[in-house]
A and B are shown apart, each in its own frame.
Chain A
């Protein structure tokens, strides 16, 4: 039934959401990660009493402040979009999202904001210990804010702890703990925050490399790099570990997403992971063409990633679309039939309730409940509609993994030459170091593309496709606001870059 909806409007609304999310995500990971590193710098200053460490701490704090000030409230725009462009979705998830988002606003944001003020304006005004405590609390508070948003996002990927109320058309929370400890939420939070720590380390290395290349603020740059490289190396290990866990959870809960980001069309026992490959753009679901123009696979590793067993079966896109009886996999076609039954019974229930026929309503509700887990499939026109954009998912995933493999090597090289005392002579490394921040941003964006494009066509996994989640608006309305956002965010980005560049050019205070 997808053809009944205005896909142009849906696509513009998706583009607008992607645009705002990607811009928002320039500011957020830096805030999440750099607060921890600043807390370390600040701790060293309090322990040593050295004015140089104080200046170093203040300098990074200033850059963090610029990022925070320009990025603050950019996420609220996403909430505007929910109410305007995605009103059906907004209505349906209101009961689930209300609690986590309220906790985020009341608890985490106020914690963050209160200590943020002490951290910035507390120099020589409060005791050193309380000042340091405030810096640590900013790190804790900003990361706690992320917990609740990521819980909300994880719920869309794996909607647990809920029941659909056919009278109100809302998903209602049945179990708060299940929502909070959703396995996707846990892996998403740990992966996102550790990746943000890695990103912040890259940011510090980029700017410090610039100073070393220019021969300015050498001591401060070397000290900054030493801590950032150690921190980044630890974060990289954690990113790898949590990434593996995140992929495992995706394999369990969203097997189509895993198949898409590995470009796996036909399921395999002992499936290999693609180390390098190029997707065949002409490949269609269900045909006999090869999914790749070329690929290098590491045998068994995808099975290990997906099921913790080298010889296990990993379903491919074809298995998930057309079913695989041998492996006990229900295809999207069969799920569509169940989804259409659920929708028909929802309609019958609604009419029976209106006419006061309680017996017919109870009968319809009983059939609806038996099929409600496939509700979203009832809106699909054909089984192939359940497949996300494969090439985009594959490319984004592999860019993310490739960069995630490069970064620990970069941290190791910086650490090695820092310990050896010859970092300033390694101009090739410093030159490369200056662009690491941009590569880190690309890795983060790629990660979000994997997470969000890979779960298409769903706004809520298996329950609500984006085509039904939208508001009944014209494409023109969304286009207008899309370009307004483009201008606003670009202006903010220019402001961020120019204010930050000016402060970097001034540099830290020298004793």
Chain B
């Protein structure tokens, strides 16, 4: 087999594994699959950012 054919085989198999297996079954877009709109995604990320503040506030509330 010529080197060209071998390389085409390697490329083909690699792309199948990457897009047909890894992307399809293991690498979902986390925010894309969890939420339907950009507004929901923005809200979620904002809540992740401010989670520390909310935890701080709730722990202070608990102390009182």
Known: A90-B31, A488-B17. A347 touches B41 (CB 8 A): no
Known: A73-B15, A87-B30, A347-B54. A65 touches B46 (CB 8 A): no
User: Interface readout for A64-107 with B: 1 if CB under 8 Å, 0 if not?
Assistant: 01100110110011001101110110111000000000000000
Known: A4-B55, A62-B3. A480 touches B45 (CB 8 A): no
Closest B residue, CB atoms, query A90 = B31
Contact of B49 among A83, A343, A480 (CB under 8 A): A343
* Residues of chain A from 431 to 479 with CB closer than 8 A to chain B in the complex: 468, 471-473
Chain B residues near A499 (CB, 8 Å)?
Answer: 3, 6-7, 10
Chain B residues near A399 (CB, 8 Å)?
Answer: none
Task: Pick from A167-175, A231-239, A326-334 the stretch touching chain B.
Answer: A167-175
Contact of A350 among B18, B23, B46 (CB under 8 A): B46
- Which A positions have Cβ atoms within 8 angstroms of B? 1, 4, 62, 65-66, 69-70, 72-73, 76-77, 80-81, 83-85, 87-88, 90-92, 166-170, 340, 343-344, 346-347, 350, 378-379, 468, 471-473, 480-481, 484, 488, 492, 495, 499, 502-503
Check if A66 sits within 8 Å of B7, measured CB to CB.
yes
Check if A69 sits within 8 Å of B11, measured CB to CB.
yes
- Additional A-B contact list (12), CB under 8 Å, known A1-B52, A69-B11, A499-B3: A4-B51, A65-B3, A70-B7, A83-B30, A88-B45, A90-B31, A168-B38, A169-B46, A347-B53, A350-B50, A471-B30, A492-B14
Check if B3 sits within 8 Å of A503, measured CB to CB.
yes
Q: Is the interface of B mostly helix, strand, loop or mixed?
A: helix
Chain A residues near B30 (CB, 8 Å)?
Answer: 83-85, 87, 471-473
- Bound: A69/B13 CA distance, A: 12
Check if A87 sits within 8 Å of B50, measured CB to CB.
no
Check if A83 sits within 8 Å of B18, measured CB to CB.
no
Contact of A495 among B10, B18, B55 (CB under 8 A): B10
Check if A76 sits within 8 Å of B52, measured CB to CB.
no
Check if A168 sits within 8 Å of B42, measured CB to CB.
yes
Check if A343 sits within 8 Å of B10, measured CB to CB.
no
Chain A residues near B6 (CB, 8 Å)?
Answer: 499
CB distance from A386 to the nearest CB of B (A): 16
- Bound: A91/B38 CA distance, A: 10
User: Interface readout for B7-46 with A: 1 if CB under 8 Å, 0 if not?
Assistant: 1101100110110001100111111100000100110011
- Bound: A343/B46 CA distance, A: 10
Check if B29 sits within 8 Å of A84, measured CB to CB.
yes
- Bound: A66/B7 CA distance, A: 7
Interface residues on B, range: 20 to 34
Chain A residues near B56 (CB, 8 Å)?
Answer: 1
Check if A88 sits within 8 Å of B48, measured CB to CB.
yes
Known: A84-B27, A91-B31, A91-B41. A4 touches B52 (CB 8 A): yes
Contact of B22 among A88, A484, A502 (CB under 8 A): A484
Closest A residue, CB atoms, query B4 = A65
Check if B42 sits within 8 Å of A80, measured CB to CB.
no
Check if A167 sits within 8 Å of B31, measured CB to CB.
no
Chain A residues near B27 (CB, 8 Å)?
Answer: 80-81, 83-84, 481
CB distance from A214 to the nearest CB of B (A): 21
Contact of B28 among A73, A84, A90, A350 (CB under 8 A): A84
18 contacts between A and B (CB under 8 A): A1-B51, A4-B52, A4-B55, A62-B3, A73-B18, A76-B18, A80-B22, A80-B23, A84-B28, A90-B31, A344-B53, A346-B46, A347-B54, A468-B49, A488-B22, A492-B14, A495-B10, A503-B3
Chain B residues near A340 (CB, 8 Å)?
Answer: 53
**Residue of A88, A92, A169, A495 contacting most chain B CB atoms (<10 Å):** A169
Chain A residues near B46 (CB, 8 Å)?
Answer: 166, 169, 346, 350
Check if A481 sits within 8 Å of B22, measured CB to CB.
yes
Closest A residue, CB atoms, query B11 = A69
- Bound: A350/B44 CA distance, A: 12
Chain A residues near B32 (CB, 8 Å)?
Answer: 83
Closest B residue, CB atoms, query A498 = B6
Check if A91 sits within 8 Å of B45, measured CB to CB.
yes
- Bound: A81/B52 CA distance, A: 25
Chain B residues near A1 (CB, 8 Å)?
Answer: 51-52, 55-56
CB distance from A347 to the nearest CB of B (A): 4
Check if B14 sits within 8 Å of A73, measured CB to CB.
yes
CB distance from B47 to the nearest CB of A (A): 8
Check if B22 sits within 8 Å of A77, measured CB to CB.
yes
- Bound: A72/B11 CA distance, A: 8
Chain B residues near A167 (CB, 8 Å)?
Answer: 42
Closest A residue, CB atoms, query B28 = A84
Chain A residues near B14 (CB, 8 Å)?
Answer: 70, 73, 488, 492
